Structure 1
Amino acid sequence: MAESESGQDKTEDPTEKKKTDAREKGEIVRSKELNTLAIMLAGSSALLIFGGALAQDLMELMRQNFSLSREVILDQRSMSTYLMSSGLSALLAIQPIMITLVLAAFLGPISLGGWLFAASSLAPKFSRMNPLAGLKRMFSVKALVELLKAFAKFLIVLIVALTVLSSDIDDLMRIGHEPMEMAIIHCLQVVGWSTLWMSCGLLAIAAVDVPVQLWEGHKKLLMTKQEVRDEHKDQEGRPEVKQRIRQLQREMSQRRMMAAIPEADVVITNPTHYAVALKYDPDKGSAPVLLAKGSDFLALKIREIAVANEVLLLESPALARSIYYSTELEQEIPGGLYLAVAQVLAYVYQIRQYKAGKGKRPDPLKDDLPIPPDLRRDS
């Protein structure tokens, strides 16, 4: 069980933030044995697939370079031209194998831990230049494990190589009696298969190393209970900071709410304890929207702003309480209040017509508006 500097046991699984921070620092799980296995398997497979074409190209290159005329040999400019041409031909011949090896060297590491480029990993670490720290790493348990892995890898590859070579002894003897071209192709096949079988021998090492690396990576990220609590506190924020943020958010919300009151069609009051401001836009065809609401002192401010901006005040205690408790700011009123609010808006329209001299004064709106029982709030 891992232990922290404070003496507490690291028993808690790493949090997502811990994993993210470690990844940003370049601390991810890697397996050198898996990378070696990928490169060896890719190289031997490419040699078996492209070995025949490679042998033909190299033999053709040798024929051209060993059949030069005397004039070409004595001409320095011609020799440089032949040298450049031969080098280009050799590069083109080994290109498929080289591309395969490059892809394996790229895909092998990212198969465990994924792709990552961390600039912090490139920064020099002067602590690694400390001779005492270097000696400590050399004689650590991890160094001993790496030594044992290297020795086990050597034994496995040696056993597989001896087994493969002993089984191919007849092919090796026949190569000496074959024509040159056939012997070269045969040699490449033997080398390819031998390398492939020796690469497969590394599967056992990689199969052990990958779980060990995953376990060590997880163990390194383990946290104490105090570290988890501290991280949670940092993420959530201090209580006084959160309280201040909520206070500022409420103040900003109230300022936006007060600024929207002049656009309201009507302010429905309790008459003193509650006040709600509604607006209906017939062009949008949606339900009326709650622009502002408040109780007690805030309700008084809403009424004052409404009077100052000539917004109609309407007393309907039951409807004011229902809207206050059932609707959030800038949201449409619930469907159960459509009929009651429609009667209010119709009354507001009649009042406007009357003030414009286009109709008679409407009768006062009754307080027995149709409010469903589930939306009704008693005083």
Structure 2
Amino acid sequence: MYMKLDLQFFNQEKTEKASPKKRDDTKKKGQVAKSNDVNTSMILLLVFLFMFLYSAVVGEYMFTMAEHVFSEYMRWEITAQTLPAIFQELAVETALVIAPIMLIAVAGGVMGNMVQVGVMFAPEAIKPKFSKLNPIKGLKRIFSARALVELAKSFTKIILVTVVSFTIIWMHADDLLKLSRKSVTEGFMEVAYVTGLIGVAVAFLLLLLAIPDYVYQKHDHEKQIKMSKQDVKDEHKKSEGDPKIKSKRRQKQQEMATQRMMQEVPKADVVVTNPTHFAVALKYDEANMDAPVITAKGADHVALRIKQRAKRHEVITVEDKPLARGLYEQADIGDEIPEDMFKAVAELLAYVYRLQKNVT
């Protein structure tokens, strides 16, 4: 009894790598090895690199907009007609400034996902799951090993980002302290430069930290989707027992067998037909065969294909209803003809050889 229980426990232990089907099923549910840090770092890196190139345009645009506000709107009378017009114009101008940055951020997020999981569409991942509202499961997630790892990662990132940011600000402290002596434009460009430098440095830092995080997430994902020996057996039984899979496999095997058989038709000496229901291709090599061999046979549609292929390759076709039916029913492809049909086949081959001599 104890031995039986031990075997059951061993069969339920998840020790086997996930099968291709299990991987496809988990991918359809949106469960893949992915680090959110990769997405975050890619977004920050692309946005701040873009800002380095775009900051002058943003600054100029903002100054122009501020000048327009103070030179035009300040003289307007605030009424029910002018106030919506002011807000509408400011909203459009602000959108023109922010839109390129938002597009770059979206591109960074998409790129981060593409690098990790490729193209993936998982509608099941966005379906509402009421099991996530279970408070007991929520507490288990909070106090799990994964939560502790995430907490340690967050503290590490906060400390490193703080150190990097403070170091860059310290290096530019003299320039920042002199902002009061500079014009508004120069001051804006100085602050934008330091901000961009901090952003790019932090993005590179997070990208470096994302590499081990992705390795950990991949390892953890592989661990989560492992299968027990019983799971492997059940999946194998299910796939083998699925009528659709069996039917597709059988259809594929039949197609391959028919294709191989059709390749032998041009090598045949003669094709015997019923004429419409059966067709049997015969081959005889006196040096290597004791008796003629059936190289192809078929009924109805397959018989029609055999006759068409024989005609295309100029293989002689002879109509003999009893012989065609007898050969089709009493022998398989690759078999020698039955002994009781030796005489009929010999006469048929003699007739074919005479035709070939007359043609030549």
**Global fold match (TM > 0.5):** yes
Counterpart selection for 1:315 from 309, 322, 343: 343
Counterpart selection for 2:65 from 49, 61, 68: 61
| Match in the other structure for 1:377 | none
| Match in the other structure for 2:158 | 154
Does the residue aligned with 2:312 lie in a helix, a strand or coil? coil
Whole-Å separation in 1 of the counterparts to 2:28 and 2:108? 25
Query: Cα distance 1:32–1:296, how it changes in 2: closer, same or farther (>3 A)?
Result: same
Whole-Å separation in 2 of the counterparts to 1:44 and 1:192? 6
| Match in the other structure for 2:270 | none
Unaligned stretches of 5+ residues in structure 1: 254-259, 301-312, 321-339, 350-379
Whole-Å separation in 2 of the counterparts to 1:265 and 1:200? 72
Residues 1:261 and 2:292 are matched in the alignment: no
| Match in the other structure for 1:335 | none
Does the residue aligned with 2:158 lie in a helix, a strand or coil? helix
Residues 1:287 and 2:345 are matched in the alignment: no
Whole-Å separation in 1 of the counterparts to 2:117 and 2:85? 47
| Match in the other structure for 1:185 | 189
Does the residue aligned with 1:11 lie in a helix, a strand or coil? strand
Whole-Å separation in 1 of the counterparts to 2:75 and 2:94? 24
Kindly indicate whether structure 1 or structure 2 has the higher relative contact order, using CA contacts under 8 Å at least 6 residues apart.
2
| Match in the other structure for 1:344 | 351
Residues 1:176 and 2:207 are matched in the alignment: no
TM-score by length of 2: 0.70
Counterpart selection for 2:145 from 138, 141, 145: 141
User: 1:280, CA displacement in angstroms?
Assistant: 8.0
**Counterpart residue type for residue 44 of structure 2:** M
Whole-Å separation in 2 of the counterparts to 1:148 and 1:88? 43
Report the RMSD for the aligned CA atoms in angstroms. Answer: 4.1
TM-score by length of 1: 0.66
Whole-Å separation in 1 of the counterparts to 2:318 and 2:22? 44
Counterpart selection for 1:17 from 3, 15, 21: 21
Query: Cα distance 1:71–1:192, how it changes in 2: closer, same or farther (>3 A)?
Result: closer
Counterpart selection for 1:73 from 70, 77, 83: 77
Rg (Cα) greater in structure: 1
Whole-Å separation in 1 of the counterparts to 2:212 and 2:10? 31
Contact persistence 1:161–1:194 (CA under 8 A):
yes
How many percent of aligned residue pairs carry the same amino acid? 26
**Counterpart residue type for residue 274 of structure 2:** I
User: 1:167, CA displacement in angstroms?
Assistant: 0.8
* Mean CA deviation greater in 76-85 or 140-149: 76-85
Residues 1:31 and 2:35 are matched in the alignment: yes
Whole-Å separation in 2 of the counterparts to 1:13 and 1:293? 54
Query: Cα distance 1:288–1:171, how it changes in 2: closer, same or farther (>3 A)?
Result: farther
**Counterpart residue type for residue 89 of structure 2:** S
Counterpart selection for 2:116 from 94, 112, 115: 112
Contact persistence 1:12–1:223 (CA under 8 A):
yes
User: 1:237, CA displacement in angstroms?
Assistant: 3.5
Query: Cα distance 1:223–1:186, how it changes in 2: closer, same or farther (>3 A)?
Result: same
User: 1:289, CA displacement in angstroms?
Assistant: 7.4
Contact persistence 1:72–1:79 (CA under 8 A):
no
User: 1:187, CA displacement in angstroms?
Assistant: 1.4
More helix by share: 2
Aligned residues: 300
**Counterpart residue type for residue 17 of structure 2:** D
Residues 167-226 of structure 1, C-alpha deviation per residue, up to 9 Å, x if partnerless?
A: 111221122211111211221111111111122221332122010011111112222233
User: 1:78, CA displacement in angstroms?
Assistant: 3.4
Counterpart selection for 2:169 from 131, 146, 165: 165
| Match in the other structure for 1:361 | none
**Counterpart residue type for residue 23 of structure 2:** K
**Counterpart residue type for residue 352 of structure 2:** L
Does the residue aligned with 2:72 lie in a helix, a strand or coil? coil
Query: Cα distance 1:89–1:204, how it changes in 2: closer, same or farther (>3 A)?
Result: same
**Counterpart residue type for residue 135 of structure 1:** L
User: 1:26, CA displacement in angstroms?
Assistant: 1.6
User: 1:230, CA displacement in angstroms?
Assistant: 3.1
Query: Cα distance 1:43–1:238, how it changes in 2: closer, same or farther (>3 A)?
Result: closer
* Mean CA deviation greater in 205-214 or 105-114: 105-114
Superposed, which structure 2 residues align to 1:349-368 within 5 Å?
none
| Match in the other structure for 1:368 | none
**Counterpart residue type for residue 21 of structure 1:** D
User: 1:236, CA displacement in angstroms?
Assistant: 3.2
**Counterpart residue type for residue 16 of structure 2:** E
| Match in the other structure for 2:330 | 299
Counterpart selection for 1:211 from 215, 219, 223: 215
Whole-Å separation in 2 of the counterparts to 1:282 and 1:155? 80
Query: Cα distance 1:265–1:12, how it changes in 2: closer, same or farther (>3 A)?
Result: closer
Whole-Å separation in 2 of the counterparts to 1:280 and 1:95? 65
